[in-house]
Amino acid sequence: MATLFVVATPIGNLSDLSERAKATLASVSVILCEDTRVTGKLLSHFGIKTPTMSYHQHSGDDKTKRVLDLLEEGKDLALVTDAGTPGISDPGGKLVEAVVRWSEKSGQTISHLRNIVSVIPGPSAVIAALSIAGVPTDEFVFLGFPPNKKGRQTYFDRLATIESTTVIYESTHRIFKTLDEIGKRTPGRHLIVCRELTKLHETIYRGTAAEVTEALGSTSIKGEFVIVLAPKRP
């Protein structure tokens, strides 16, 4: 039985790609990518010529079946996202779930299941942000990206009720709106806002939502953000 390797890739600095990840990407039959253009640049940088195939949030059952067929044919595959660890606030998670379910239906033993999906660990924006946040991390909640429209208010209402360290992602285009939502509900809560982690212009902002908003207002806003909310004070 072949293996689906879940391979973490850099979140900014290409030097963060591990030697094991390089070897895996070079040895599999096909690399499944969130965006083949983004992954293509990474592969070109390291001289890896493995064929790629797209697998993203709009991939349907036909694409999933094609992946399962490749595994059944004995072809090892790698799953990558545009940046970071696949399956963490990422559409790759649905493929891993599909592969595991398919394996179980095929009558694979528990011990065999461990080899059907294998992880090549590495960069993860949520873990990177927590490591430098300077807040308790023995317990934390990760809520991914806030909804753009439907469910957005409910999302932030829930966020405001969580007392432990909480992490969310946000894009350049909605960072100010998200800070405003947080500020309206918990104006005194301490935030650690990480911009462009591991990249040349990595910047860490610390303060309330209003203070971070003011600091961001005087800079060029680009890149993805990781927002860490410190635990609520007693």
The encoded tokens of residue 199 equal 């990249």
Task: Flag whether pLDDT at 163 surpasses 80.
Answer: yes
Mean pLDDT of the chain: 92
Q: Which of 130, 124, 123, 141 has its CA nearest to residue 204?
A: 130
Would you say 169 and 224 are in contact if contact means Cβ atoms under 8 Å apart?
yes
> 172 or 111, which is more confident?
172
At 110, the pLDDT band (50, 70, 90 cuts) reads low
Task: Flag whether pLDDT at 230 surpasses 70.
Answer: yes
The 117-120 sheet, strands edge to edge: 52-54, 30-33, 77-80, 4-7, 117-120
C-alpha span between 127 and 45 (Å, rounded): 25
At 117, the pLDDT band (50, 70, 90 cuts) reads very high
* pLDDT value for 206: 98
Task: Flag whether pLDDT at 178 surpasses 80.
Answer: yes
The per-residue DSSP string of 94-109 comes to: HHHHHHHHHHHHTT--
Classify residue 5 as exposed, middle or buried by CB count within 10 Å of its CB (0-12, 13-18, 19+).
Answer: buried
User: How crowded is residue 76: how many other Cβ atoms within 10 Å of its Cβ?
Assistant: 16
* pLDDT value for 112: 56
Averaged pLDDT, 19-44: 97
Averaged pLDDT, 211-234: 87
Averaged pLDDT, 203-211: 97
* pLDDT value for 91: 84
What domains are defined for the chain?
Answer: 4-123 (3.40.1010.10), 126-229 (3.30.950.10)
C-alpha span between 88 and 66 (Å, rounded): 23
C-alpha span between 100 and 113 (Å, rounded): 7
The reported pTM is 0.90
